[in-house]
Structure 1
Amino acid sequence: MKKIPLFPYSNHILPDGRTQLKIAQARHIRMVKEALISKKGFVMAMIDSEREHSEVKDVPAISTHVKVIDFNRLEGDLLGITVEGIDLLKIEQIRIEDDKLLIAECMPFSTWAPSQTTTSNQCLAQRLKQLYSSQPEMGNLYPTPLFDDMTWVCQRWLEVLPIEVKYKQMLIHQKTPNLAIRFLIKLLQDKNLNH
């Protein structure tokens, strides 16, 4: 069982994903410093944006172990960091340290194996390419995108789409990305995004 700092956040990240965070609170600055020194990273738990300040019991079980790949000082004593998802962990227990930093006891959780893009799901990769070219700040996080790996494509969609956390958790609990692929194709068609 791994003990690792926990950061519940409404920016969602899955394995191989990248996101930029602004760190303001002293406990989280300590978490980032320790993550950089120990090279052990920390765990990011997905929470819905309206639950940003909710109870510890609302943190979902499956979370992403991340490493800090870049950092810089921002105005107003903020710390800007870029993190990359390493793998999934299942949170078994959470304790709160004196400075209110959360520490999670975690077990490994299986991640989806890479899966080849096919003609039936190619639309998801195409739409993601379009999204990244229209949102360069997002696309620039991925100098070598893996558009031919449907697992990678699905995980990037699950990170950015405004889907309730309980549905994202249900999808990443699956052994393969197949259900996520079907769900995402249907969602993008329903939203008329598929042309």
Structure 2
Amino acid sequence: MNVPLFPLNSIVLPRGRIPLQLFEPRYIDMLTRCLKEDRGFVVVLLREGVETKKEAAFYDIGTYVRIIDFQQLDNGLLGITVEGQGKVSVVRSWQEADGLNLGDVECLMDEADCKVPERYTELPSVLRALFRHPVIRDLDMEVDYEDARDVGWRLTELLPLDKQEKQRLVELQDPLERLSRLQTLLEALEQD
């Protein structure tokens, strides 16, 4: 599958949502093409560089997203909300003359469906607390607090972790391994 790549300093995972502001011509054109062709794009985490610069290095595991809402913002920019569909691996990437990154991607296998084990009951509670924040509540995401994938994905997106750690969590394919790592990271955050 050949798709546009959107390098960000943020991540989104399957069933997650993220609001974006578009103002660069390359991304306005990308949005127009995606809407016209009823297709999405891939959000990848920046490894080096800045979101607004054409020179940027990014990780090769990201999330295919679809546009679920768009509107003109008060600041004159175009605002969109995207929702993660599935994790992908960027097999090959290149940059168009206008600076838009494109890539050949392969869909990764779906993660195993499993319940949150008893030993991680604190994690859904932390997630519920995060979902009380108005900005997160406004994204209108549905969360299954008993699903290890959902809990792990949302905590990976929302916790204040450095981007290398977030990417390591994104790349995990085992929801229980992700919960274990998140539990350890939360304990470290509480000690700081």
Q: Secondary structure at the residue paired with 1:8?
A: strand
In 2: Cα distance, 1:25 partner to 1:89 partner: 25
What letter corresponds to residue 138 of structure 2 in structure 1? N
Distance 1:11 1:40, change over 3 A: same
- 1:14 alignment partner in structure 2: 13
Unmatched 5+ stretches in structure 1: none
Greater shift in the superposed pair: 63-72 or 29-38: 29-38
Conservation of the 8 A alpha-carbon contact between 2:21 and 2:79: yes
Distance 1:54 1:48, change over 3 A: farther
Distance 1:76 1:131, change over 3 A: closer
In 1: Cα distance, 2:47 partner to 2:179 partner: 22
What TM-score do you get using the length of structure 2 for normalisation?
0.89
1:44 shift after superposition: 0.5
In 2: Cα distance, 1:54 partner to 1:120 partner: 45
Please list the CA deviations of residues 134-172 of structure 1 after superposition, one character each: whole Å capped at 9, or x if unmatched: x12202323532111111111111112233333333333
1:7 shift after superposition: 0.5
1:76 shift after superposition: 4.4
In 1: Cα distance, 2:23 partner to 2:77 partner: 5
1:178 shift after superposition: 2.1
What letter corresponds to residue 66 of structure 1 in structure 2? V
Q: Secondary structure at the residue paired with 1:151?
A: helix
In 1: Cα distance, 2:84 partner to 2:48 partner: 20
Match among 155, 179, 182 for residue 180 of structure 2: 182
1:48 shift after superposition: 5.7
Unmatched 5+ stretches in structure 2: none
Q: How does 1:59-138 map to 2 (within 5 A)?
A: 59-133=58-132, 135-138=133-136
In 2: Cα distance, 1:75 partner to 1:143 partner: 23
Identity of aligned residues (%): 29
Please list the CA deviations of residues 91-145 of structure 1 after superposition, one character each: whole Å capped at 9, or x if unmatched: 1111211211111111111232222122211211111001111x12202323532
How many residue pairs get aligned? The number is: 190
- 2:161 alignment partner in structure 1: 163
Conservation of the 8 A alpha-carbon contact between 2:114 and 2:147: yes
1:20 shift after superposition: 0.6
Q: Secondary structure at the residue paired with 2:136?
A: helix
